[in-house]
Amino acid sequence: MIDFSDPQFLIDPYPALKELRAHGKPVWHEGLQLFLAPNHEHANAVFRTKTLGRIFKERTPEFEWEVFNWLHSDSLLDSEPPKHTRLRSLVAKAFNRQKIEGLRPDIERLTQELIEDISIKVNDGKTFDLIADFAEPLPVKVIAALLGFPASDEHLLRPWSQSIVKMYEVSPSLAHQEEAKTAAREFADYVRGLMLERKVNPGSDLISDLAAVEEGGEKLNAQELVATCVLLLNAGHEASVNAFGNGMVAALRRPDQAELLRSKSRDIAETAVEEFLRFDAPLHLFERTATQITELGGVTIEPGQKIAALIGSANRDADVFDRPDDMDLLRDPNPHIGFGAGIHFCLGGPLARLEMGISLPALCERFPNMELASEPIRRPTFVLRGYESVEIQA
């Protein structure tokens, strides 16, 4: 059975995941005490089956984990109907298609600013770090602009987010647990302060919109508003950073795909972004808990038992994708489940697609001769799969 802490597995999990798919049904993992759904059909069903809920289990002792716990229990990600229905309706009213499209000028401006900074390094004959210099700061800056965070405070956001999301891994260390508690308190206090300020002096930012939004007499309470803003940063930018980094590394390692980026990046941006999300998924595992006896893919899941959709594995399923282990930036159709499915389809998915659809061709057109300057450094994680550093010679 898969060892999720094995360094070789973390470098390339796909051969082991292929073996897992060969079972043709969800597989019980004794170590994790849950079922793994590696096939596309079953992973998709995990997201869509109503008797499989996203049941958040509060961490203890409660007084240490209080803020971390409500940041999750009062968020869209870790709630179920009817609470999830109410929250999503309110949040979607403020974070709508018009709001997202309205960010296009900001994304274009921020992209160009980062590219100009990179150009200084390139003109001096230096390499640049695709993650630290581009993929990482862009979504943070975009979400900071969306929420109306002062530019002077942007440097606080990524460390808070990274500390919290390390808790989503299979076995977070005690040190990571302590960092997550501290980050949750500091991040929540920071957003709460902005919320109180915007209630007195509302602006055009999303915090102001969330504070004002109302549906059928319902409004977001203070904890729900703070939890929504923290979730948007944590989930929103992690997906963008890792999808962009994973996709670029994979493309630059394949001469035919690198040539497509060099010559046609603007024409193929839409399909390229989808293939980035499919080929080396930024999120690999998403747990659900049975609320009643559930039959799925030939196995019985008892109430209280968990099953995890293995997203990266599902996106390599040969029953759904032609040549699944080949990257094809022209792939169409591409029914990957990189953003989930059903009621928990990622609310920030359209924003991530817009960011990458703008930033990918902008970077490739400015630096058409990009190549890997050294072996990229992987993050030693599975659930959130990405790179710590990717040095690029342009």
CB 131 within 8 A of CB 387: yes
For residues 335 and 278, give the distance between their C-alpha atoms in angstroms, rounded to a whole number: 9
Distance CA 158, CA 47 (A): 28
Which helix (H) or strand (E) segment holds residue 388: the answer is strand 387-389
Amino acid 254: pLDDT: 98
Q: What is the CATH number of domain 7-52+59-393?
A: 1.10.630.10
**Separation CA 12–CA 99 (nearest Å):** 38
Residue 151: per-residue pLDDT: 87
**What is the arithmetic mean of pLDDT over 298-308?**
97
Cα Rg, the chain, nearest whole Å = 21
For the stretch 248-268, pLDDT in tens is 999 999 999 999 999 999 999
- The whole-chain average pLDDT of the chain stands at 94
In this prediction, residue 253 carries a pLDDT of 98
Specify the range with the lowest mean pLDDT, choosing from 12-21, 142-151, 209-218, 232-241: 232-241
User: Which of 30-39, 67-76, 148-157 has maximum average pLDDT?
Assistant: 30-39
pLDDT of residue 171: 82
Q: Report how far Cα 32 is from the mean position of its chain's Cα atoms.
A: 22
Report d(CA 199, CA 93) in Å as an integer. 18
Q: What is the pLDDT of residue 78?
A: 86
Question: Counting Cβ atoms within 10 Å, is residue 256 exposed (0-12), middle (13-18) or buried (19+)?
Answer: exposed
Q: State the pTM of this model.
A: 0.93
Residue 216 and residue 158 in contact, taking contact as beta carbons nearer than 8 Å: no
Q: Which among 283, 273, 256 is positioned nearest to 350, based on CA atoms?
A: 273
Mean pLDDT of 180-199: 94
Q: Are 198 and 205 in contact (CB under 8 A)?
A: yes
Give CA separation, 199 vs 134, 157, 187, 210, 213, in Å.
Answer: 33, 22, 18, 10, 12
Q: Which residues are catalytic?
A: 235, 238, 240, 346, 355
Mean pLDDT along residues 15-25: 97
Rounded to whole angstroms, the Cα distance separating 340 from 283 reads 9
Q: Quick check: 317 pLDDT over 90?
A: yes
Tokens representing 180?
């997550």
What pLDDT score was predicted for residue 8? 94
Helices (H) and strands (E) in the chain, counts: 17, 12
Domain boundaries, the chain: 7-52+59-393
